[in-house]
Amino acid sequence: MKIATYNVNGVNGRLPVLLKWLEEEKPDVACLQELKAPNEKFPLEAIEKAGYKAVWHGQKSWNGVAILSREHEIEEIGRVLPGDPDDVQSRYLEAMINGVLVVCLYLPNGNPYPGPKFDYKLSWFARLEKRAKQLLDFKTPVVICGDFNVMPTEIDVYKPERWVNDALFRVESREAWFNLVGQGWTDAVRKLYPDKVIYTFFDYFRNAYQRNAGLRIDHFLLSDELVPKLKAAGVDHHVRGWEKSSDHCPVWIELRK
DNA sequence: ATGTCAAGAAAATCTTGA
């Protein structure tokens, strides 16, 4: 089973790019972030025509997440990250697909640091830790993937010294990441490529893609049941070079049956 | 501080978030 995550940066504005990528790579499951569209403007018809079933949780202008499945049925498990009834941002979706609990998330960016947005990021991370612990206790195969808006280590940043006070690389954000992973999760891409420079995001500014000035912020976390099944992982780097592309690349893993 | 995008409000540019 091939599972992908892709921050599409506007599901309608960049729909041709999404459809071209789905047609080319045909992932079994695709987790999308930053739909930037309310529920009623989700392009279901085009996605069904591309061969996918979908569950989604949209929001006007910002955020929004979706999970697509080609072959298997999708059973939605939840669309809210527990822990804050006042949080109305659409950033979290859980679905059961082919016996795997798939979590699609769009973690808050958190800039500027310091400030209320950074505080929101950390509190969101704390809520995620709680939910992730529950998921581990289910003893079922779980994949948590999406745009975590965190570069875990220096190898994940083209110029680490420039990013020390950015919310994506602040020590608090990285600590939160490692606390989460420390529960017993495996960073799938790093498991297969411990030392390789791998980027999943390139800013629109200053020709970041052409200069390979990237970040690794889109991740897959696997529960123990799935680690022995991890067959391959990669980044569809070339998609970032397409016209009207998102600033993120699709990232994927392949699991043995 | 800068740079590039898209969506939304509003009425052709400006604001916002990333």
- Span A42-101, pLDDT tens digits: 999 999 999 999 999 999 999 999 999 999 999 999 999 999 999 999 999 999 999 999
Give, to the nearest 10 degrees, the angle between helix A171-181 and helix A116-137.
Answer: 10
* Region of residue A166 (phi > 0: left; psi between -120 and 50: alpha; otherwise: beta): beta
Tens digits of residue pLDDT in A125-149:
999 999 999 999 998 999 999 999 9
Rounded distance between C-alpha atoms, residue A174 and residue A224, angstroms: 22
Q: Distance in angstroms, CA of A130 to C1' of B10? A: 43
The C-alpha angle A153, A209, A124, rounded to 5 degrees, equals 45
- A218 is an active site residue: no
Average pLDDT over residues A96-116: 96
Nucleotide nearest to A11 (CA to C1'): B6
Task: Name, in order, each residue with C-beta under 8 angstroms of A251's C-beta and a sequence gap of 6 or more.
Answer: A4, A5, A6, A145, A189, A200, A218, A219, A220, A233, A234, A235, A236
The residue from A6, A106, A199, A209 that is catalytic is A106
Asked if residues A136 and A223 have their Cβ atoms less than 8 Å apart, the reply is yes
A129: which DSSP letter? Answer: H
Rounded distance between C-alpha atoms, residue A245 and residue A253, angstroms: 21
pTM of the predicted structure, to 2 decimals:
0.98
**Residue A178: pLDDT above 90?**
yes
Cα A198 to Cα A85, A187, A202, A247, distances in angstroms:
36, 13, 11, 15
Which has the closest alpha carbon to A108: A162, A33, A190?
A33
Tell me which protein residue sits closest to nucleotide B9, measuring alpha carbon to C1': A61
Give the pLDDT score at A18: 97
- A147 is an active site residue: yes
Size of chain A in residues: 257
The residue from A6, A52, A92, A147 that is catalytic is A147
If one counts every other C-beta atom within 10 angstroms of the C-beta of residue A42, the result is 21
| Max CA separation in chain A (angstroms) | 46
**Residue A257: pLDDT above 90?**
no
